[in-house]
Amino acid sequence: MLQVSVSEARIIVVGAGLSGLAVAARLVSSGREVLLLEASSRAGGQIHTQREPSALVELGAEGFVARSRAVPALCELLGISAALVEQLTTDTYAVEPSGLALLPAGEAARRLGFQVPVEELGRGIRALAGGMGQLIDALVERVGPQRLQLSRTVSHLGRSADGLQVELISGERELARAVVLATPARHAAALLDALWPAESAKLASAQLLTNVSVNLLYRARQFRDYPPGSGLIFPDEIAALGLRAVSLVDHKFAGRVSPEQALLRVFFRPAADALETWTDERFASEAARAIARVLPVSGEPERAWVSRWVDALPVFSADFRARASEADGALQVHGIHLTGSAFHGAGIDAAVASAERVAARLMG
């Protein structure tokens, strides 16, 4: 017999990435009954901080736009405002035949196609002293273990006489008065397809990008001349391999490694064949080789961390924004709410702002 949990007052949030956690935390803080379901074995989505004895390594997002109001407000709610830190330098260089050329403020973001408001270009980012994972840890603590359930995969949404019905691949069913979808757009489309095909179709064609990054840990003395800025843009002959840029993490934020170490993060926008055929060791090797081509370094890195985010970065064209907005408005009539950067704008600030709007709507 299928297990059915019934609560007319409960709100179910599907997806425990940043936006799903933020919605749930706001609702819990206001006394609402919440159940947060996450398919994977960890919370945080594209925020994933790995804390090593030798380094604090970001495998996912490394910060948020400097002028964000939503993220500091969330940190205030969670009691971690004192952990907010500023980027130490925003200087970025292009690697040219004659050497390193300092780029005008905002030029690196324009070249790399960052989806940030024009007024944010060149202003850098903010983060937390314990890495962006510190925000996730605080959100998980606020939501509470009894409300956050990991490794529970939702298969589709439905309706019943008692309200909205969330069906899991395990065969279990959860009922609630409202459902918040904090998932990638294509995943949301699959959950909605059976009963809301028109809204599903608007989300199913979301354009997505893949990102691979490699954190490389060196001894500082391995570099004969280490650039002073926060990052480098690779030249075209390297970019042809999918290599885009390198972040000089130890110059960007204080305390990520010891003064005797250097932590660099190389970013790829890999071609499909590389993503499918390259091992993590190959990505790490290509990243180290690229560093050796643009900086005077001797020897190999001591450690490497490879993170793959496949079809994880939404691309917001005017057409998709309009379709997502139409789907969102139509679904709200049925008690279904869309939240996160998959629907309301790329980046951490947009994800949190989206969560705040949805939480306020549900609390109202």
Q: Which residues pair with 248 in a beta bridge?
A: 264
Residue 82 lies in a domain: no
Structure tokens that stand for 228 in this block: 């002073």
Residue 54 lies in a domain: no
Does residue 231 sit in the same domain as residue 271? yes
Number of domains in the chain: 2
Does residue 214 sit in the same domain as residue 228? yes
> Sorting pLDDT into bands at 50, 70 and 90, what band is 270?
confident
Does residue 199 sit in the same domain as residue 238? no
Does residue 293 sit in the same domain as residue 148? no
> Sorting pLDDT into bands at 50, 70 and 90, what band is 1?
very low
Question: Hey, what's the torsion of the CAs at 191, 195, 196, 200, to 10 degrees?
Answer: 30
Over the stretch 338-363, which tens digit does the pLDDT of each residue have? 999 889 888 899 999 999 999 999 99
Cα(24)–Cα(304) distance, integer angstroms: 34
Does residue 307 sit in the same domain as residue 243? yes
Residue 306 belongs to domain with CATH number: 3.90.660.20
Does residue 190 sit in the same domain as residue 339? yes
Backbone dihedral region of 268: left (phi > 0), alpha (psi from -120 to 50 degrees) or beta? beta
Does residue 307 sit in the same domain as residue 328? no
Mean pLDDT (the chain) is: 91
Residue 153 lies in a domain: yes
Does residue 34 sit in the same domain as residue 171? yes
Does residue 153 sit in the same domain as residue 260? no
Residue 252 lies in a domain: yes
Structure tokens that stand for 225 in this block: 């001349």
Q: What average pLDDT score do residues 144-159 get?
A: 95
Residue 19 lies in a domain: yes
Residue 359 lies in a domain: yes
Task: Look at the pTM and tell me if it is higher than 0.85.
Answer: yes
Q: What average pLDDT score do residues 39-56 get?
A: 95
Q: Which amino acid would we find at residue 165? A: Q
The residue range of the domain holding 300 is: 88-114+208-314
Structure tokens that stand for 181 in this block: 């979808």
Q: What is the DSSP letter of 44?
A: B
Q: Which of 115-119, 205-209, 236-240, 243-247 has the lowest mean pLDDT?
A: 115-119
Q: What average pLDDT score do residues 166-180 get?
A: 95
- Report helix, strand or coil for 265: strand
**24, pLDDT greater than 90:** yes
**6, pLDDT greater than 50:** no
Does residue 97 sit in the same domain as residue 164? no
Over the stretch 80-133, which tens digit does the pLDDT of each residue have? 999 999 999 999 999 998 889 998 987 877 777 666 666 666 578 999 999 999
Residue 65 lies in a domain: no
Q: Can you give the pLDDT at residue 116?
A: 61
Does residue 139 sit in the same domain as residue 108? no
Cα(26)–Cα(180) distance, integer angstroms: 13
**185, pLDDT greater than 50:** yes
Residue 348 belongs to domain with CATH number: 3.50.50.60
- Sign of the alpha-carbon dihedral angle for 328, 331, 333, 338: negative
- Report helix, strand or coil for 158: strand
Q: Can you give the pLDDT at residue 238?
A: 79
Listed in sequence order, the residues at least 6 apart from 48 whose beta carbon sits closer than 8 Å to its beta carbon are 42, 58, 59, 60, 133, 307
Residue 72 lies in a domain: no
The per-residue DSSP string of 272-291 comes to: HHHHHH--HHHHHHHHHHHH
Does residue 188 sit in the same domain as residue 276? no
Q: Which of 210, 190, 71 is nearest to 127 (CA)?
A: 71
Q: Which of 60-74, 175-189, 208-222, 229-243 has the lowest mean pLDDT?
A: 229-243
